[in-house]
Amino acid sequence: MTARGYKSISRIDHPKKNTHGWYVRVAFKGAIHSRFFSDSGYRGKRPALQAARTWRDAKERELGKPRTERSVIAVSPRNRTGVIGVRRTTKARTRDGSKVGPVYEVTWRPASGPMHRTTFSITKFGKDEAFRRACAFRKEKEREMYGAELPSLKVQRRSITTRLSLLRDFYV
């Protein structure tokens, strides 16, 4: 649905199977939690929708997912720092032309508009302090974007042989 307040809720109307109701899917940390709310079980469309919204909100609180109409990405297999929105990279030059070197880059996207980014120099602050500052800055931006911080997650490392065997199993 496009209206505000209905994220993760879909309407199901299948007259041939006599199925009418609201389907809720809450995806977070790689797991999907779902439930169907039948119109007949809740005596109408509106009560079923209200029950679906209540369940969705409770499930998001239970999982620690911030209640927002925006997409919330809490884990990515490509992330190497363990913090979404923070990555280690090398910056060649600053705006004034001076060399920088290795940095931790923080990215975030406000409600609308382009992605923003800032960096914390490893040369200037040291590896641990630059990472600490980058994480603190990202948490501040999460509070602005989502109204709460996202939970910290450990990134699982897999060797190349493990990844290749997973791909082989997938395609066989």
How does pLDDT run across 114-150, given as a tens digit for each residue? 888 899 989 889 999 999 999 899 989 888 877 776 6
In a domain, 72, yes or no: no
Q: Is residue 71 part of a domain?
A: no
At 18 the pLDDT is 87
Domain of residue 135 covers 86-146
Co-location of 94 and 140 in the same domain: yes
Please state, in angstroms and rounded to a whole number, the distance separating the CA atoms of residues 69 and 62: 17
CA dihedral 2, 5, 7, 11 (to 10 degrees): -70
Residue carrying the six token digits 């307040």: 5
More confident position, 148 or 64: 64
Domain assignment present for residue 57? The answer is yes
For residues 56 and 90, membership in a common domain is answered with no
Q: d(Cα 87, Cα 122) in Å, to the nearest integer? A: 12
Residue 6: the pLDDT is 83
Residues 15 and 52 in one domain: yes
Under DSSP, is residue 148 helix (H, G, I), strand (E, B) or coil?
Answer: coil
Residue 25 structure tokens? 């899917």
Instruction: Please indicate, yes or no, if residue 36 is contained in any of the structural domains.
Output: yes
Does 136 lie in the same domain as 93? yes
Span 11-16, average pLDDT: 88
DSSP label at residue 93 = E
Beta-carbon-side half-sphere exposure of residue 9 (alpha carbons within 13 Å):
25
Beta-bridge mates of residue 15: none
Domain presence at residue 75: no
- In order of 11, 68, 76, the CA distances from 36 in angstroms are 10, 21, 28
Q: Across residues 33-57, what is the average pLDDT?
A: 93
Please state the domain count of the chain: 2
Kindly state whether residues 105 and 58 are assigned to the same domain.
no
Domain membership flag for residue 155 = no
The strand pair at 9-14 and 116-121 is best described as unpaired
Q: Are residues 93 and 59 in the same domain?
A: no
Q: How big, in percent rounded to 5, are the helix, strand and coil portions of the chain?
A: 35, 30, 35
User: Residue 85 in 3-state DSSP?
Assistant: coil
Whether residue 33 lies inside any domain: the answer is: yes
Q: Do the domain assignments include residue 79?
A: no
- 64-93 mean pLDDT: 73
